[in-house]
Amino acid sequence: MKKPSERNNATFEDLIGLGDHSARKNYYPELTQKLDELDVERNRYKWLFDNALHGIFQADLSGRFRAANPAMASLCGYSSASDLVEQITAIDQQLFVDAQDYRTLLMRLSQDGKVHRYETRLLKADGCFIFVSMNALLKRDADDVTLEVFVQDISERVSDQARLKKLNEELEERVTERTYALATVNHKLWDEIRVRETTQQELLVAKEQAEDANTSKDKYLAAASHDLLQPMNAARLLVSTLRERKLAVADAQLVERIHVALEGAEELLTDLLDISKLDQNAVQSDPCAFHLSQLLNALETEFQPLAERAGLILKIRKTDQMVFSDARLLMRVLRNFVSNALRYTNQGGVLVGCRVRGEYLYLQVWDSGEGIPQKSIVDIFSEFNQLEQHRNGMRTGVGLGLAIVDRVARVLGHPITVRSRVDKGSVFTVQVPLLTSDMVAPRPVARTTSVSGFSSEVVLVVDNDQNILLSMDVLLTQWGLTPYIATNAASAIELCKQQQITPHVLLLDYHLEKGETGLDVLDSLEQHFNTRIPAAMLTAERSDISLRHFRTLGLQVLNKPVKPGKLRALLTHMLSASE
């Protein structure tokens, strides 16, 4: 037993049982380490609380702050967290814009114990308010209940949503205006060309559908496209036939005015359909390897007559390079570039050329027009935007072409650049990947020379629209071909038997009567003749699925309304290839 003097000299370790003779003294270093770790952890949480990017506060159920971090004070416009806690004594009245929001939050917490992404508005010190998103937790400790809330400022997101809604409303209003303009132009067009009463009725039905569906442009475009494109296609072919004939000056001027009005209506409808599909992400790129000469030859055939009528020189530098892209979408980009260049060039000409740099080919369209002011270059890719420069008398367009090109280029992943100098001209460039060694190369394409006429080759046209059949018959006959027309597979085979003919080329509409399609007609004719016949689909069907299916079958495709220049180029190519 220790002496009293020895007990008086006892240390703190002796008093808590960790003296020299205590076995528990061995745990003292570990206990000290744990206390240090707890202290470090506490300091870390305090640092996180003080330096968090989002606001954090604690409150009791009576609506008083217990604690708040600096970020919370900054969100609410207070100089410090202490100012926020001291000045706001009733959260529901002084912090929340709507006290009912706070009561709703408490009610949901009492039911679930926690709430995520609760959106409300909080008052700031200057009387303004902000939109916030809250994650809240209800903590119960014995008799005490604490409300812990994490606050994120979402005012910018709410503002962006409001701006987006406004932009959408403005777009709908603009589409409605353009739809009304389209209906007006179409009505005048049918009055001028005095088409049959049945065709006028179809247009009125399509117009009524457009007016009924003007709150949804996509629904209108889908419903009215086929009904509008069919009679427009017939009218386009008839007007083109008249333009190629020798007429009196007054009659020729009237036909030319009809042609310009018809082209304007056609371009507006086609562009609206295309931009609607692009905005819905309904257009997908289907890249493959192909010879660029295919596109350049087609481009030359289509636009050379247009350039000559405008008194301009169109030069296309040919190349044997092979590229990897979607030929159909790339052609849309090039066609728009050349069309715009011819439209905004008063004298001189347009040059299409290529430059190879590394693994890319740069397709360029140069013109000697009036150029584009530097401040307007970005704007030319916006919808319904046209420059104020003088035009050479050609059709003015509707201001959607380059907006479509911009979207198509993004689908393709092909960058577009523009350089221009006022009074000097412009150059539009699209960057296309060259064919590399790991890609499958296409078979060589023989060069074909455009011919000025045909030699009575037999062309069989199958369509369910009598106006289109009449138009095709007149136009193809005028070109020097021998056309035969039918409305379905049975009548086509019967006609071939009676006339004892074998068509050189088939021009087939896709959607026929009673569910029959152009593909059914093609199968029937090939079985009848027991041979493969060159065929092209002339259709108002524009879905990517159908177009890919046609391409898989090796069929050429022209969308209605068919442009006579493109049709003539296609027939020249198909007849040359079949020789």
- Is the model's pLDDT at 491 over the cut of 70? yes
**Residue 517 contacts by C-beta under 8 Å, 6 or more apart in sequence?**
510, 511
> For residue 70, what are the CA distances in angstroms to 53, 92, 151?
9, 20, 12
Q: Mean pLDDT throughout 189-211?
A: 70
Residue from 111, 117, 157, 155 nearest 136 by CA: 117
> For residue 111, what are the CA distances in angstroms to 64, 137, 251?
21, 11, 83
Pick the residue with more confidence: 64 or 21?
64
Residue 160 lies in a domain: no
DSSP 313-337: EEEE-----EEEE-HHHHHHHHHHH
Q: Which residue is associated with the tokens 């481009």? A: 299
Q: What is the pLDDT of residue 527?
A: 92
Residue 442 lies in a domain: no
Q: Characterize the bridge pairing of strands 360-367 and 425-433.
A: antiparallel
Residues 87 and 193 in one domain: no
Look at 21-30, 185-194, 239-248, 371-380 and tell me which has the smallest mean pLDDT: 21-30
- Is the model's pLDDT at 544 over the cut of 50? yes
Residue from 299, 265, 251 nearest 243 by CA: 251
Residue 242 lies in a domain: yes
Residues 117 and 176 in one domain: no
Look at 135-149, 249-263, 442-456 and tell me which has the smallest mean pLDDT: 442-456
Helix (H, G, I), strand (E, B) or coil at 213: coil
Residues 386 and 298 in one domain: yes
- Is the model's pLDDT at 28 over the cut of 90? no
How far apart CA 150 and CA 223 sit, in angstroms, is 50
Contact 390, 370 (CB under 8 A): yes
Share of the chain above pLDDT 70, in %: 77
Q: What is the pLDDT of residue 211?
A: 60
Q: Which range of residues forms the domain containing residue 472?
A: 458-578
Q: Mean pLDDT throughout 545-563?
A: 82
Helix (H, G, I), strand (E, B) or coil at 360: strand
- Is the model's pLDDT at 117 over the cut of 50? yes
Residue from 353, 298, 367, 350 nearest 321 by CA: 353
Q: What are phi and psi of 315, to 5 degrees?
A: -115, 130
CB atoms within 10 A of CB 556: 17
How far apart CA 92 and CA 90 sit, in angstroms, is 6
Q: Mean pLDDT throughout 543-557?
A: 81
Residues 297 and 388 in one domain: yes
- Is the model's pLDDT at 240 over the cut of 70? yes
Look at 27-31, 97-101, 264-268, 331-335 and tell me which has the smallest mean pLDDT: 264-268
Q: What is the pLDDT of residue 574?
A: 86
Which of 279, 307, 323 is a domain's end point? 279
Q: What is the pLDDT of residue 360?
A: 92
Q: Can you name the residues that pair with 556 across neighbouring β-strands?
A: 536
Look at 133-142, 441-450, 536-545 and tell me which has the smallest mean pLDDT: 441-450
Look at 67-76, 81-90, 442-451 and tell me which has the smallest mean pLDDT: 442-451
Residues 427 and 300 in one domain: yes
Q: Mean pLDDT throughout 155-170?
A: 90
Q: Mean pLDDT throughout 203-232?
A: 61
List the CATH number of the domain containing 300.
3.30.565.10
Q: Mean pLDDT throughout 141-147?
A: 82
Alpha helices in 194-243 (DSSP H): 197-212, 217-243
Q: What is the pLDDT of residue 122?
A: 93
List the CATH number of the domain containing 129.
3.30.450.20
- Is the model's pLDDT at 355 over the cut of 70? yes
Q: Which pLDDT band, with edges at 50, 70 and 90, does 367 fall under?
A: very high
List the CATH number of the domain containing 491.
3.40.50.2300
Which of 120, 153, 186 is a domain's end point? 153
Tokens encoding 255:
């036909």
Residue 443 lies in a domain: no
CB atoms within 10 A of CB 517: 18
Most confident of 244-248, 272-276, 395-399: 244-248
The tally of domains found in the chain comes to 5
Residues 537 and 510 in one domain: yes
Residue 453 lies in a domain: no
- Sequence-ordered strand ranges (E) for 167-321: 288-291, 313-316
The DSSP output letter for 96 is: B
Q: What is the pLDDT of residue 19?
A: 53
Q: What is the pLDDT of residue 389?
A: 53
Contact 285, 275 (CB under 8 A): no
What letter represents residue 529's amino acid? F
Contact 124, 130 (CB under 8 A): yes
How far apart CA 192 and CA 182 sit, in angstroms, is 15
Contact 209, 446 (CB under 8 A): no
How high is the mean pLDDT of the chain?
79
Q: Mean pLDDT throughout 506-533?
A: 90
pLDDT digits (tens, 9 = 90+) for 463-488: 988 888 888 888 888 888 999 999 99
Tokens encoding 144:
């005490």
Q: Mean pLDDT throughout 113-133?
A: 92
Q: Which pLDDT band, with edges at 50, 70 and 90, does 507 fall under?
A: very high
Residue from 329, 346, 305, 359 nearest 569 by CA: 305
Q: What is the pLDDT of residue 31?
A: 73
How far apart CA 187 and CA 261 sit, in angstroms, is 11
pTM above 0.85, yes or no: no
Residues 390 and 503 in one domain: no
The DSSP output letter for 444 is: P
> For residue 133, what are the CA distances in angstroms to 136, 138, 151, 162, 301?
10, 17, 6, 17, 61
What letter represents residue 344's amino acid? Y
Residue 452 lies in a domain: no
**Burial of 129 by CB count in 10 Å (0-12 exposed, 13-18 middle, 19+ buried)?**
middle
Q: Which pLDDT band, with edges at 50, 70 and 90, does 134 fall under?
A: very high
Which of 28, 45, 62 is a domain's end point? 45
**Residue 222 contacts by C-beta under 8 Å, 6 or more apart in sequence?**
none
Q: What is the pLDDT of residue 192?
A: 76
> For residue 110, what are the CA distances in angstroms to 113, 285, 318?
6, 53, 76
Residues 299 and 375 in one domain: yes
> For residue 113, what are the CA distances in angstroms to 43, 104, 109, 139, 150?
27, 13, 5, 8, 14
Tokens encoding 21:
């003779």
- Is the model's pLDDT at 528 over the cut of 80? yes
How far apart CA 389 and CA 399 sit, in angstroms, is 13
Q: Which pLDDT band, with edges at 50, 70 and 90, does 569 fall under?
A: confident
Q: What is the pLDDT of residue 379?
A: 75
What letter represents residue 431's amino acid? Q
pLDDT digits (tens, 9 = 90+) for 280-323: 666 677 788 888 888 888 888 778 888 888 889 999 998 888 89
Residues 174 and 250 in one domain: yes
Residues 304 and 413 in one domain: yes
The DSSP output letter for 435 is: P
Residues 488 and 421 in one domain: no
Q: What is the pLDDT of residue 424?
A: 86
Residue 486 lies in a domain: yes
Residue 158 lies in a domain: no
- Is the model's pLDDT at 498 over the cut of 80? yes
Most confident of 23-37, 345-359, 451-465: 345-359
Q: What is the pLDDT of residue 336?
A: 86
- Is the model's pLDDT at 340 over the cut of 60? yes
Pick the residue with more confidence: 43 or 248?
248
Helix (H, G, I), strand (E, B) or coil at 376: helix
How far apart CA 361 and CA 40 sit, in angstroms, is 62
Residues 304 and 391 in one domain: yes
Q: What is the pLDDT of residue 225?
A: 58
Q: What is the pLDDT of residue 299?
A: 84
Q: What is the pLDDT of residue 452?
A: 43
